[in-house]
């Protein structure tokens, strides 16, 4: 057993994971997830109606403690039969052998779903992508007009993004052109890598070697730092709030704003566009993409029933039921988006087609911490862009164990 699982086992408390059947004679499938009961329970009720011999015992996790609880459950063999796991966590669990292999073909899975890579390990499938999310550009139409910009033509390229941010930033001391993220866990690297990926940059090569210190990534970081010069540098929640208050011209943020903005600022006139691309023929509109994935723990005694539940949940019909309620995630299935969506929501569906996830590496969480730390140092001028990439390269190489010859 890996050392981190053994350590977690020492901290375990009784989790009360039931299995097998109950007094009704039905087989119980224990399902851990992160969704409120009003959102998920009607879907589970429909599954039980289709499978009268099964009943689902549902338990909602929290984002504050869910990861630790899952780790402890794996360590103590008290994991549920089916578990929702964030895409950046799956590679670690798959490599440690605590997930069941699913009898699915990786190529067929990739043809049908977005962001399948995190669920693959050694060419085998260990998790199904269920619900996905990405980031897009929100912009304030009124501030665009005041700055002499066309609110019907959001920036398409890096130069257009910078010019628009500069003009809005010049409107006054209480207005900022763009919202740049400060060093916030799980957030900063997502914003930078959107620019890096759009410019052809990468973190790891296909052979697993580290290629972060590259000309493509350097150009992206230099642009990111230039943009920060006409930006408010803050955490995501504050950037979202100040955008709702009409004090920030543009932010890159998630689709949760499609619901929160009309509720908190019904008079705010805003638009949504894809993340701008580099001013080169090869530049692309790429944004970060993350997925909520469904995995069957290796310790489950109800693997077949859990797999049936997973397939039911990832079906487009059921996934859309969640997406339309929460408006912060979308089904992982690749068929065209729901035509009933608003124009702003359809931008997210379009952006999802070119969204990219982080490398499916068991030690990604450690890499993420390195990227956030070095990018933040460059953002505040403590080190140069060149030094930030070089240090990150060396630190990630120590984790991966593969060096790249420059």
For residue 157, give Cα distances in angstroms to 148, 274, 283: 18, 10, 9
Grade residue 403 by pLDDT with cuts at 50, 70 and 90. low
Q: Is the pLDDT of residue 276 over 60?
A: yes
pLDDT tens across 82-98, in order? Answer: 999 999 899 999 999 99
% residues pLDDT > 90 (the chain): 82
pLDDT tens across 244-268, in order? Answer: 999 999 999 999 999 999 999 999 9
Q: Is the pLDDT of residue 399 over 60?
A: yes
Task: Single out the residue of 116, 30, 28, 112 nearest to residue 73, CA to CA.
Answer: 30
Share in percent of the chain as helix, strand, coil (round to 5): 45, 20, 40
Q: What is the mean pLDDT of residues 41-52?
A: 97
Residue partners of 238: CB distance under 8 A and separation at least 6: none
Grade residue 342 by pLDDT with cuts at 50, 70 and 90. confident
Grade residue 325 by pLDDT with cuts at 50, 70 and 90. confident
Task: Provide the token pair at 67.
Answer: 């990861």
Poorest-confidence range of 10-19, 66-75, 220-229, 394-403? 10-19
pLDDT tens across 22-44, in order? Answer: 556 899 999 999 999 999 999 99
Q: What is the mean pLDDT of residues 133-142?
A: 97
Residue partners of 172: CB distance under 8 A and separation at least 6: none
Distance CA 399, CA 183 (A): 21
Q: Is the pLDDT of residue 185 over 80?
A: no
| Higher local confidence (pLDDT), 391 or 10 | 391
Distance CA 69, CA 71 (A): 5
> What local confidence, expressed as pLDDT, does residue 401 receive?
82
% residues pLDDT > 70 (the chain): 91
Q: Is the pLDDT of residue 386 over 60?
A: yes
> What local confidence, expressed as pLDDT, does residue 119 receive?
95
pLDDT tens across 154-170, in order? Answer: 999 999 999 999 999 99
DSSP structure string for 94-131: HHTT-BPPBS--HHHHHHHBS--GGGEETTEE--EEEE
Q: Is the pLDDT of residue 235 over 50?
A: yes
> What local confidence, expressed as pLDDT, does residue 184 receive?
78
pLDDT tens across 355-383, in order? Answer: 999 999 999 989 999 999 999 999 999 99
Q: For the packed helices 385-400 and 215-228, what is the interaxial angle rounded to 10 degrees? A: 130
Q: Is the pLDDT of residue 400 over 70?
A: yes
> What local confidence, expressed as pLDDT, does residue 74 receive?
94
The residue to which tokens 């969204």 are assigned: 355
> What is the set of domains in the chain, with CATH numbers?
3-133+290-352 (3.40.190.10), 134-288+361-400 (3.40.190.10)
User: Taking a C-beta distance cutoff of 8 angstroms, is the pair 27, 81 a contact?
Assistant: no
Task: Provide the token pair at 281.
Answer: 């023929």
Residues forming beta bridges with residue 77, ordered by sequence position? none
């Amino acid at each position: 057993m890996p050392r981190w699982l053994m350590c977690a086992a020492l901290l375990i408390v009784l989790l009360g994971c039931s299995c097998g059947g109950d007094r009704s004679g039905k087989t119980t499938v224990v399902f851990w997830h992160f969704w409120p009961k009003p959102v998920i329970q009607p879907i589970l009720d429909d599954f039980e109606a289709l499978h009268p011999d099964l009943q689902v015992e549902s338990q909602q996790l929290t984002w504050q403690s869910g990861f630790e609880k899952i780790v402890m459950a794996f360590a103590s063999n008290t994991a549920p039969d089916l578990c929702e796991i964030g895409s950046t966590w799956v590679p670690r669990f798959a490599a440690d052998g605590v997930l069941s292999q699913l009898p699915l073909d990786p190529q067929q899975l990739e043809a049908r779903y977005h962001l399948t890579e995190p669920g693959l390990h050694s060419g085998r499938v260990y998790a199904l992508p269920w619900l996905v999310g990405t980031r897009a550009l929100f912009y304030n139409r009124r501030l665009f007009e005041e700055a002499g910009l066309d609110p019907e033509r959001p920036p398409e390229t890096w130069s257009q993004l910078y010019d628009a941010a500069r003009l809005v930033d010049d409107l006054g001391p209480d207005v900022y052109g763009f919202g740049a993220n400060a060093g916030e866990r799980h957030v900063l690297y997502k914003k930078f890598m959107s620019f890096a990926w759009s410019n052809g940059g990468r973190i790891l090569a296909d052979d697993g070697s580290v290629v972060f210190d590259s000309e493509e990534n350097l150009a992206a970081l230099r642009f990111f730092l230039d943009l920060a010069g006409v930006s408010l540098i803050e955490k995501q929640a504050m950037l979202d709030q100040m955008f709702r208050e009409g004090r920030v011209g543009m932010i890159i943020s998630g689709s949760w704003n499609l619901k929160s903005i009309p509720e908190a600022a019904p008079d705010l006139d805003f638009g949504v566009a894809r993340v701008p691309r580099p001013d080169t023929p090869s530049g692309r509109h790429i944004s970060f993409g993350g997925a909520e994935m469904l995995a069957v723990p290796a310790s489950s005694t109800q693997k077949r029933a859990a797999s049936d539940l997973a397939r039911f949940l990832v079906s487009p019909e059921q996934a859309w039921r969640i997406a339309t309620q929460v408006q912060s995630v979308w089904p992982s299935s690749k068929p065209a988006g729901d035509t009933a969506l608003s124009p702003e929501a359809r931008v997210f569906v379009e952006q999802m087609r070119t969204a990219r996830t982080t490398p499916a590496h068991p030690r990604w969480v450690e890499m993420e911490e390195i990227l956030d730390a070095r990018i933040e140092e460059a953002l505040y001028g403590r080190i140069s862009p060149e030094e930030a990439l070089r240090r990150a390269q060396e630190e990630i190489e120590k984790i991966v164990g593969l060096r790249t010859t420059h």
